[in-house]
Structure 1
Amino acid sequence: MSKIGVVTFPGSLDDGDAARAARISGAEVVRLWHADPDLHGVDAVVLPGGFSYGDYLRCGAIARFAPVMETIADAARGGMPVLGICNGFQILCEAHLLPGALTRNQHLHFRNRDQWLRVENSSTAWTNHFTEGQEILIPVKNGEGCYVADRRTLDELEAGGQIVARYIRGNPNGSSRDIAAIRNEAGNVLGIMPHPEHAVEALTGPSLDGLGFFSSVLKHLADAKAAA
């Protein structure tokens, strides 16, 4: 059974939800602590949503210096799948594992609603369960979810297929080019602003679409082990 590590920072809000989603998908969950650099043999890592270190300075700006992040950054550069959700996306950008930045929503209001996305790239470790062009319904809840980058970076993301999902039927935060999720060049690191971990059960989610992210990484890991 593949092991997915879920990091808890001071101020993490959705680490329990991310752990539950990974468990429902069939993974063995390992809880990781921000001050412990040991990844305890996990095969993939989730950086959850919330308000790490109270969002002081900038969202994710302090979390990127947590001892666990140095190990995660090295592992990500070595090919380990890493998913950053909401605040986790912000941390990945602050750690320079993904380009660009997440800034205050253009309308200056917190947004909490069910949001439609279109999957633009299904070749990543976290999206191979989907098909390109598939529309999925995932909750969004953020105050600093506006993805920004300079035009050259945005053009490079477009050309390289690194835009993984876009907002459709309305952009909740003003993100450039309706970007909801991006990946690194290798495709193992994914940052997404909406919350797939809140769409994994019929009782509480608007859909079961979020499970696809977690089942995708399990398939990716299984295929990698089979090929080894």
Structure 2
Amino acid sequence: MDAARVGVITFPGSLDDKDAAKAVRLAGAEPVALWHGDHDLRGIDAVVLPGGFSYGDYLRAGAIARFAPLMAEVVDAAKGGLPVLGICNGFQVLCESHLLPGALLPNAGLHFVCRDQRLSVENADTVWTSEYREGQELVIPIKNADGRYVADRETLTELADSGRIVARYLDLNPNGSLDDIAGICNEAGNVVGLMPHPEHAVESLTGPSTDGLGFFTSIVKRLVNA
């Protein structure tokens, strides 16, 4: 059986596309480089929107990237079931594209935050989290200036009641996200947005842990067994 093909989109200002591609490779899939200005997803089985500062975060984080030609293809494919993972800036792009509800605003302390962060897996049933167990604690780096997740109370209640909160911060909330939300998913569970960076926790030599690799092995296992 051929390896699963997982696309990684590069926007102007992407910083972690190479790291995401490496994580995909370590998980056993073939990373496929995708350019923001293209119109072709190249037959991929899943896609990662990496962290960074797409288009310099001008206007608002992720607000310009949502209009990239390739994002039109991603939105249509996601609505058709394509697995999509947005990490940090990618999470912001998914919210701006209305694939996920809410928004990511400047951190409560108005400072860039970079630290190893404890998380709790709240939903282990998505295509990106199935290798974890509910309640499992992870240590994954965060690095963001606009990581404060906000939504109206009705949306927050719906996310909690429907199990669409994927991860929560433990201990100190690093950015003031409402309800300690670190990641959410759409109703179908194929689109996940995550503010921490799992691609920076896939090797013991360079990361605080290998806790992030499960996001990538989850999708590979799901694709192989599909």
TM-score bracket, normalised by the shorter chain, equals over 0.9
SS in 2 for 1:205: coil
- 1:136-158 Cα offsets, whole Å, 9 max, x none, are 00000000000000000000000
**Counterpart of 2:221?**
219
* Residue identity matched to 1:78: G
User: What is the match of residue 7 of structure 2?
Assistant: 5
Match of 1:93 in 2: 95
d(CA) in 2 for partners of 1:152 and 1:127? 25
Looking at structure 2, the residues matched to 169 and 145 of structure 1 have their Cα atoms a distance apart, in angstroms, of: 16
Cα distance, 1:223 vs structure 2: 2.2
Normalising to structure 2: TM-score of the pair? 0.98
CA displacement 1:114-163 (0-9 Å, x = unmatched): 00000000000000000000000000000000000000000000011000
Give the C-alpha shift of residue 110 in structure 1.
Answer: 0.6
Aligned positions, number: 224
Q: 1:157 pairs with 159, 164, 167, which one? A: 159
- Separation of aligned partners in 2, 1:98 and 1:220: 21
1:133 alignment partner, one of 132, 135, 149: 135
Unmatched segments (≥5 aa) in structure 1 = none
1:179 CA drift (Å)? 0.1
Give 1:37 deviation, angstroms: 1.3
TM-score in terms of structure 1 length: 0.98
**Distance in 1 of aligned mates of 2:84 and 2:98:** 13
In structure 2, the partner of 1:173 is 175
Q: Within 1, Cα distance between the matches of 2:56 and 2:199?
A: 21
2:78 counterpart (72, 76, 79): 76
Distance apart, 1:219 and its partner CA: 1.2
Post-superposition Cα deviations, 1:40-94, rounded to whole Å, max 9, x if no partner, equal 1110000000000000110000000000000000110000100000000000000
